[in-house]
Amino acid sequence: MPHSLKSFLDKKVDEYNQPSFIPVDPICVPHAFTKKQDIEIAGFFAAVFAWGNRSIIISKSKELLRLMDNAPHQFLIGHTDKDLNNLLHFKHRTFTTTDLLYFINFLQYHYNNHASLEIAFIPHKNKPVVIEDSLNYFHQYFFSLPDTPLRTKKHIAAPFKNSTCKRLNMFLRWMVRNDNQGVDFGIWEKIKPADLICPIDLHVGRVARKLNLIKRKQTDWLTAIELTENLKKFDAKDPVKYDFALFSLGVGEKF
C-alpha cells in the first residue's frame, strides 16, 4: 500500500476521531451514560437502529431510552408487564414492537446471568478471538430463547448469512477501541482492536474502492475481510480506526 495513502488516511482519522464527531453520530446515544451496562445497551440499540438518516437514528434511540427511564440496565432486569406497556407503540422503520419485546427478553435473560454483553461475543474462553466466529456465535446465542419471532432475525446480521455485519462491527468498534480520543469507549477487554473487522456500508465501500482498498465487486462479508486486511497493512494493531476516515470521506466530504 502506498505510503502517501496511509498518510492521507492517518490525517483523516486524526481529523474526525475527535469529540466533535460525537454529537452528529449515533455513538452520541451511549455517550449519555456512564454505567458500563447502560453504555452497552444504549450502544447496542443505537447500532441496531443505524441505517438511514443519522438524526432519525439518534432521535429514535433516545426515544426508546426515555421509555426505559434513561436507565436501561435497571429497566431490563427489573421491569414489570406494566412497564412494558409503555413500549408497545415504539417503532423504528421495520423494527416493531414484536422485535423490541424479544430484544428486551433476551437482554433481561443475559444480564440476569452476566455482568457484561461482551461475553455474548466470546464463543471460546481460552482461544484467540476470531470476529467471524464471534458474530456467528452471537447470532446463535441471541436467538436461543424459546419462541423467537422469525421476523426478528433480520435485525441481527451474521457472517454465515454473508452479511457485512456493518452495524454489529460498528458496535464492537465502539465497545473495544480505546485510544483516549474520547469517541470510542474501550470498555471491553477480551476482544482486542486488532481483532475487529471494519464496518462497511455503501459509503465506506465506495470510498474504499476508489482508494483501491477493495477489489471485490459485491459488498458482503468477504469484502469486509478484504478491506480490513488491507487496512492492517497501515496499522495491524488498530485497523478499524480507519473507519473514521472512510466513513467521513464518504458521508461528510462526498469523496
List the one residue out of 207, 249, 251, 253 whose CA is nearest residue 230.
207
Query: Which of the four pLDDT bands, split at 50, 70 and 90, describes residue 51?
Result: confident
> For residues 198 and 168, what is the distance between their CA atoms, to the nearest angstrom?
10
> For residues 206 and 6, what is the distance between their CA atoms, to the nearest angstrom?
18
Please tell me the chain's helix, strand, coil percentages from 3-state DSSP, rounded to the nearest 5.
60, 0, 40
Residue type, 88: L
Q: What is the number of domains present in the chain?
A: 1
224 close to 204: Cβ distance less than 8 angstroms: no
Q: What is the pLDDT of residues 157-202, one digit of tens each?
A: 999 999 999 999 999 999 999 999 999 999 999 999 999 999 999 8
Q: Is the pLDDT of residue 255 over 90?
A: no
For residue 24, the model assigns a pLDDT of 94
For residue 52, the model assigns a pLDDT of 85
Burial classification of residue 154, based on how many CB atoms lie within 10 Å of its CB (0-12 exposed, 13-18 middle, 19 or more buried): exposed
Q: What is the pLDDT of residues 195-230, one digit of tens each?
A: 999 999 989 999 999 999 999 999 999 999 999 999
For residue 3, the model assigns a pLDDT of 72
Query: Which of the four pLDDT bands, split at 50, 70 and 90, describes residue 252?
Result: confident
> For residues 59 and 133, what is the distance between their CA atoms, to the nearest angstrom?
32
What separation in angstroms does the CA of 18 have from each of 13, 24, 180, 245?
Answer: 9, 12, 10, 12
Q: What is the pLDDT of residues 142-154, one digit of tens each?
A: 999 999 999 999 9
Q: Is the pLDDT of residue 2 over 70?
A: no
Phi and psi for 164 in degrees, rounded to 5?
-70, -20
Cell of 63: 426515544
List the one residue out of 137, 134, 162 whose CA is nearest residue 222.
162
CA-based diameter of the chain, in Å? 59
> For residues 41 and 54, what is the distance between their CA atoms, to the nearest angstrom?
18
Map grid coordinates 438524526 to a residue: 55
Please, what is the Cα angle at 157 between 151 and 161, to 5 degrees?
A: 95
Map grid coordinates 480506526 to a residue: 241
> For residues 71 and 77, what is the distance between their CA atoms, to the nearest angstrom?
10
Q: Is 66 helix (H, G, I), strand (E, B) or coil?
A: helix
Q: Is 118 helix (H, G, I), strand (E, B) or coil?
A: helix
Which residue segment(s) compose the domain that 220 sits in? 3-251
Q: Is the pLDDT of residue 1 over 60?
A: no
> For residues 92 and 43, what is the distance between their CA atoms, to the nearest angstrom?
16
Mean pLDDT of the chain: 95
Q: Check: pTM over 0.75? Answer yes or no.
A: yes
